[in-house]
Structure 1
Amino acid sequence: MTMLGKAREAGIPLMKLVRLRGMPILEQLRLEERLLRTSSDNWCLINDGTNSPAIVMGLSGKLSELVEVKPVLRDHIPVIRRFTGGGTVVVDHDTIFVTLICNKDAVPNVQPFPRPIMSWSGLLYSKVFEGLADFHLRENDYVFGDRKFGGNAQSITKHRWIHHTSFLWDYGGQNMSYLKLPAKAPKYRSTRDHMDFVCRMKEHIPRSEFIERTIKAIGAEFSVIPISLESINIHSVSEYVHSTRLLTDQEIQEASIIQT
């Protein structure tokens, strides 16, 4: 019997793993959205960095309240509104993305609501960072001590859910300067600015080791099947109407006027 057959016989859920390197974040988010809404498989996508800096906002975020618009315009930083909720993040080649897309019955005893999914993911990543650092899930963030290194976003449909994380393996101060202090922030932040609030994963774990530990932790919950990006039916990407989109220059200019 094949490994796939044994997994099915044992009732272990299958998960397809796609490892990426440097995929543009807009392309990644659109792939995630399509897999959530048009596939019936469980997926894990790991993208080791994105090709160039970008700002990614949650579905309902207001640009003028979350981003320093004039520097963004000056530096030609693209702004993306993703299909999930959550906060605003600046991403680049030093951001590692891990996305889990699951059927509602794939994870035993986890109800398809934000808090149970978040709690389950916190336990999953506690295995990844075991013995390395003071890891915690605080409110909706992954932290070492009281400093954030991973921001999360979710979306839940009738039969499926997605949980995706942007991990700050490293970051530059310039990137942090594009973000305003949000009016709605977790209590543990205590009005700290970005440089005092976030920390770098590279101070705790090598990049490749984090990815391998993550795959191992997921492998304890699922029967993981590595597949290539090319094996996914890419042709249907263009046919699917995505809600994830790049904001236009006009939208950013209008937000700049509001901030003035």
Structure 2
Amino acid sequence: MSSRGLLPLMNLVRLNGVPILQQLQLEERLLRTSSHNWCIVNDGTNEPTIVMGISGKPAELLEIGSVLQDKIPVVKRFSGGGTVIVDHQTVFITFICNTDALPSVQPYPRPIMSWSGQLYSKVFQGVGDFSLRENDYVFGNRKFGGNAQSITKGRWVHHTSFLWDYEMMNMGYLKLPKRAPDYRQARDHSDFICRMKDYISRQEFINRTISALGSQFSITPPELESSDCPDDTKFVPSTRLLGKQELEECFESESGNVILQSL
């Protein structure tokens, strides 16, 4: 416990432009090898990258031909959730918590999602028409934040990709998912998502988030090389970059299925 009373400690890590693969592997290591609470803020990533959930299938979710042609990296992360394309205009915020740090939050997807929705309701107070809709953060009926979670014994991670801005052409690498929230109503990306920059500045958003988190945790900046974050050489992350050959095989399989269906 901290000198501020009964608030649990939260280690705050501020990153800027760290590759999303590196960020996700750090998160996975902290979730599985650390015993502390962490908030990771990464302001942008270094290059456009597609990130898929652990059970995502490239052939169902990606325009693989275009992805291969334009050499867009594809990462499969350790958590569930949907598929996004991120770049330097995306803001990433991750919470890694011990379940006993927030005893009122049951370690299941919906309670964790509800807790995060309430936290961001404080962040966006007076900003747009914010709400949590079917696991998405939205202004009105347009999405600007996609979430994913991973829950282990005694710990969980909740991470979000916030679309502060985006290139509409990059959305063309993603197929419309077969499973989509009801409120999407089959809208394409241009009608379904919106830009946070039309509502709030990047720095104000980050500052508000840290301030809101400070009402529930005592926040401290850590030394990532310290014993609080062990460099466990035995730990092998499941988050990985999909290889070109793997994507080519998915593309060839998809192309074969299309030919068969047309016969």
Distance 2:83 2:109 in 1: 18
Q: Mean alpha-carbon deviation: is it higher for 176-185 or for 238-247?
A: 238-247
Who is 1:226 aligned against? 221
Distance 2:23 2:210 in 1: 19
How much does 1:229 deviate? 4.2
Aligned to 2:200, what secondary structure does the other structure show? Answer: coil
How much does 1:69 deviate? 0.4
How much does 1:255 deviate? 1.4
Q: Mean alpha-carbon deviation: is it higher for 248-257 or for 236-245?
A: 236-245
Distance 1:122 1:244 in 2: 26
Give the conservation status (yes or no) of the 8 Å contact 2:37–2:98.
Answer: yes
Who is 2:98 aligned against? 103
How much does 1:228 deviate? 4.6
Aligned to 1:47, what secondary structure does the other structure show? Answer: strand
Q: Is residue 143 of structure 1 aligned with residue 138 of structure 2?
A: yes
Distance 1:11 1:235 in 2: 26
Give 1:31's match in structure 2, choosing from 18, 26, 32. 26
Who is 1:160 aligned against? 155
Distance 2:230 2:36 in 1: 18
Give the conservation status (yes or no) of the 8 Å contact 1:57–1:89.
Answer: yes
Give 2:87's match in structure 1, choosing from 84, 92, 116. 92
Who is 1:11 aligned against? 6
Distance 1:62 1:208 in 2: 35
Percentage of pairs with the same residue: 65
Q: Is residue 182 of structure 1 aligned with residue 177 of structure 2?
A: yes
Distance 2:79 2:168 in 1: 26
Distance 1:15 1:160 in 2: 13
How much does 1:257 deviate? 1.4
Distance 1:125 1:180 in 2: 28
Aligned to 1:35, what secondary structure does the other structure show? Answer: helix
Given the superposition, is the C-alpha separation of residues 230 and 161 from structure 1 closer, same or farther in structure 2, using an over 3 Å criterion? same
Given the superposition, is the C-alpha separation of residues 103 and 235 from structure 1 closer, same or farther in structure 2, using an over 3 Å criterion? closer
Letter in 2 for 1:6: S
Who is 1:172 aligned against? 167
Distance 1:193 1:185 in 2: 11
Distance 1:112 1:207 in 2: 30
How much does 1:108 deviate? 3.2
Given the superposition, is the C-alpha separation of residues 5 and 109 from structure 1 closer, same or farther in structure 2, using an over 3 Å criterion? closer
TM-score between the two structures when normalised by the length of structure 2: 0.94
Letter in 1 for 2:33: T
Q: Is residue 79 of structure 1 aligned with residue 74 of structure 2?
A: yes
Aligned to 1:60, what secondary structure does the other structure show? Answer: coil
Number of aligned residue pairs: 255
Given the superposition, is the C-alpha separation of residues 78 and 175 from structure 1 closer, same or farther in structure 2, using an over 3 Å criterion? same
Distance 1:224 1:158 in 2: 24
Aligned to 1:111, what secondary structure does the other structure show? Answer: coil
Given the superposition, is the C-alpha separation of residues 206 and 231 from structure 1 closer, same or farther in structure 2, using an over 3 Å criterion? farther
Which structure 2 residue ranges, 5 or more long, are not aligned?
Answer: 256-263
How much does 1:240 deviate? 1.6
Letter in 2 for 1:72: V
How much does 1:233 deviate? 7.3
Given the superposition, is the C-alpha separation of residues 135 and 75 from structure 1 closer, same or farther in structure 2, using an over 3 Å criterion? same
TM-score between the two structures when normalised by the length of structure 1: 0.95
Residue deviations 1:75-131 (CA, integer Å, cap 9, x gap): 100100000000000000000000000001111311000000000000000000000
Aligned to 2:111, what secondary structure does the other structure show? Answer: helix
How much does 1:232 deviate? 7.0
Letter in 2 for 1:27: Q
